[in-house]
A = this chain, B = another copy of it.
Amino acid sequence: MTPSQNIKTFLEAGPEYLPSVSVDCVIFGFHERQLKVLLLEFKHTKAFALPGGFVFKEESADEAATRILWERTGVKDIYLEQFHTFGEQNRGNWDVHKATMSSHGFELETNHWLLQRFISIGYYALVDFSKVIPTPDIFSDIGGWHDIHQIPTLILDHNRIVEKALSTLRLMLDYKLVGFNLLSETFTMNELQSLYETILDKKLLRANFQRKMLSMEILERVEKKFSGKAHKPPYIYRIKKTT
């Protein structure tokens, strides 16, 4: 199928989706001590947006989010949580969509389903940065990973969605033990701490952080790493299998 045929198929798939409902995903990753968000960039218009999509009539909203996430990252079994639903009136009026489609030779009528008002259910995902293979959708190029402090201007209310996702993540961090999902399967205490420090945007005392994490009894030591550096090598931890 040519890209153009893909788009045609998509534009005609309106009736398969639940009308008025969309899903937007804030995909968090952690790399080089930075908390990052995966964005898409619409072709031609160069507008940035969150990865999103629509809900098939034969799937739940959660399933839709999981599917969208998988399509954009190649990863299944992702930690995923709904955090807020955005129902403002000004959601819709997708000049970007119109322009993008136009550039592909599709002129959308003003009452086309893609240009209607949508409610958006917001999900945030915590992924292992190293496992993700960003994959654009048919409208978009890969927008890449962006540091949480340097998110460009996004379409619609997507900047607000990112803000809300971040504040929810911060709340959850010391309520649920959730941060691990952003690291690879094994990690050092230092990596875990710098993850927490990045998300919470404040320094933590090493000694106390270590005690707190270990006191929860969900970490187990794997082995020592001999990093080749001139100091005591750290333990490697992983999450206990709770079987």
Q: Which residues does A use to contact B, with CB under 8 Å?
A: 18-21, 55, 57-62, 64, 82, 84-85, 87-89, 117, 119, 121, 171, 175
- A89 contacts B59, C-beta separation under 8 Å: yes
Distance between Cα atoms of A71 and B59 in the complex (Å): 33
Which listed residue, B20, B58, B82, B171, touches A89 by the CB 8 Å rule? B58
Task: Output the least CB separation between A200 and chain B (Å).
Answer: 16
Distance between Cα atoms of A15 and B71 in the complex (Å): 33
- A60 contacts B89, C-beta separation under 8 Å: yes
- A62 contacts B87, C-beta separation under 8 Å: yes
**Which chain B residues lie closer than 8 Å to A21 at the CB level?**
20-21, 87, 119
Chain A at the B interface: SS class? mixed
- B87 contacts A61, C-beta separation under 8 Å: yes
- A117 contacts B87, C-beta separation under 8 Å: no
Closest Cβ neighbor of A171 among chain B residues: B175
**Interchain residue pairs with CB less than 8 A apart (26):** A18-B20, A18-B117, A18-B119, A19-B19, A19-B20, A20-B20, A21-B21, A21-B87, A55-B87, A55-B119, A57-B117, A58-B89, A60-B87, A60-B88, A61-B85, A61-B87, A61-B88, A61-B119, A62-B87, A64-B87, A82-B85, A85-B85, A85-B121, A87-B121, A119-B121, A171-B175
**Which chain B residues lie closer than 8 Å to A60 at the CB level?**
87-89
Distance between Cα atoms of A88 and B62 in the complex (Å): 8
Closest Cβ neighbor of A87 among chain B residues: B61
Task: Output the least CB separation between A44 and chain B (Å).
Answer: 30
**Which chain B residues lie closer than 8 Å to A88 at the CB level?**
60-61
- B117 contacts A119, C-beta separation under 8 Å: no
Distance between Cα atoms of A121 and B119 in the complex (Å): 10
Distance between Cα atoms of A20 and B120 in the complex (Å): 12
**Which chain B residues lie closer than 8 Å to A55 at the CB level?**
87, 119
Task: Output the least CB separation between A112 and chain B (Å).
Answer: 15
Distance between Cα atoms of A5 and B135 in the complex (Å): 53
**Which chain B residues lie closer than 8 Å to A119 at the CB level?**
18, 21, 55, 61, 119, 121
**Which chain B residues lie closer than 8 Å to A61 at the CB level?**
85, 87-88, 119
Which listed residue, B19, B57, B82, B89, touches A84 by the CB 8 Å rule? B82
Task: Output the least CB separation between A143 and chain B (Å).
Answer: 26
Distance between Cα atoms of A57 and B19 in the complex (Å): 13
